[in-house]
Structure 1
Amino acid sequence: MYYDTPWHFWPVLTVAFIWHLVGVIDYTATQYELEFWLAMATERQLTFIDSMPDWVDGGWAIAVWSGLLGVILAAFRTNFAPLVLSISFIATLVVTIWLVTVSDPSLTEIAGWPGAAVMAGACVMALLLWLYARAMHQEGVID
């Protein structure tokens, strides 16, 4: 049984869907090496992407695809949405930590502070979306 849907539910999910869709497009276009997409990157950035360990690439895939799936599950008010979005957050956090602190060269060296800021923003967005879905589940909006 659904409780009254708060006014913010659909706007939040719409923004979250667009956010994660852009992430999925970025990941997919990069994996398929679509020329129009990769033309935005420098040669050094492309080398950096190509040299990422497979587990980081896999984490990136998990982060974006589970994020999109989680938003869709939330829209259908499926009780697994918070769990799936927590997986997206954890994957985003792990990938961000590796990119910014462990990789050599680091993301900051490759893309500057805007690259690190985008990843930090992705972590914040993933965390907030997970907490939002969890709150909506606790309130009975997501059953």
Structure 2
Amino acid sequence: MTEITKNRPPSWFWTVSIVALIWNIMGVMAYLVQAFMTDETLMDLPEAEQALYTNVPAWATAAFAIAVWFGALGCLLLILRKKIAKMVLLISLIGIIVQMIYNVFMSKSMEVYGPGGAIMPIMVMVIGIFLIWFSQKSITKGWIS
């Protein structure tokens, strides 16, 4: 049995990797919508949400960009079975942490969205941590190299 056949990932590896890529592409789309929001679109939002979008510091926007672009790249690298996926996903997780520190603790998003506004940040953080674990497991099992 060749090494390529022996270390072939199970079918669920592909499912997880593709779903994770789709999740991160949705994050990229959310970032692009926020980054390129027109004044007209912004004015259509409730006043409290307008304040959230107009007062985002550049470092928080940069963290958002790093989180989603590196997340999408990391998942693509998983699909391509490249070990560097773990490092790229770790950079994405750092972006997530910085972005969530701003969103949860420094902005008034909880006042605007209420307790339900915590669901998405928690989900994003859990998925980011899961992808680091998943990439490490894939390296350990020899599925990516």
Q: TM-score, normalised by structure 2?
A: 0.87
Contact between 1:29 and 1:37, CA under 8 Å: does it hold in 2? no
> Which structure: larger Rg?
2
Percent identical pairs in the alignment equals 30
Unaligned 5+ segments in structure 2 are: none
How much has 1:37 moved relative to structure 2?
A: 7.4
Q: TM-score, normalised by structure 1?
A: 0.88
1:33 aligns with 2:37: yes
1:135 alignment counterpart:
137
2:123 alignment counterpart:
121
What aligned pairs does 1:54-133 form with structure 2 within 5 A after superposition?
54-103=58-107, 105=108, 107-133=109-135
How much has 1:49 moved relative to structure 2?
A: 1.7
Contact between 2:21 and 2:72, CA under 8 Å: does it hold in 1? yes
Contact between 1:30 and 1:37, CA under 8 Å: does it hold in 2? no
Tell me, in whole angstroms, the C-alpha distance in 2 between the residues paired with 1:72 and 1:51.
32
Q: 1:136 to 1:100 in 2, by over 3 A?
A: same
Kindly tell me the number of residue pairs found equivalent between the two proteins: 141
Q: CA RMSD in A?
A: 2.1
2:132 counterpart SS class: helix
Unaligned 5+ segments in structure 1 are: none
